[in-house]
Amino acid sequence: MAKSSIRVLVVDDFEPFRRSICSALQDKLELRTIVEASDGQDAIELAQALQPDLILMDIGLPKLDGIKAARRISELAPKIENPIF
């Protein structure tokens, strides 16, 4: 029986770090990185559209910091149950 995949949104403005996180996650069979974002505003839009299971987000982001983005995601995407920010 196949395991269900966990969809992950990775948000960090430092591309090399973000790519290394995504690479590490892709090595895990049960995890599937669905998208990357580099700022808080993009994170909100992508979370709302894609409804990931897990969000890994830096707090020091351009346009909108990670704390404000996490609050906004919680308001706009209530179908995301208990994401870890």
Entry field: residues in the chain: 85
pLDDT at 70: 92
pLDDT at 53: 85
Q: Which residue numbers in the chain have pLDDT < 50? A: 1-2
- Please report the domains of the chain, with CATH numbers, ordered by start residue: 6-76 (3.40.50.2300)
Determine the Cα angle at 42 with ends 82 and 48, to 5°: 45
Helices (H), 1-85: 15-26, 40-50, 66-76
Closest CA to 79 of 44, 46, 50, 51: 51
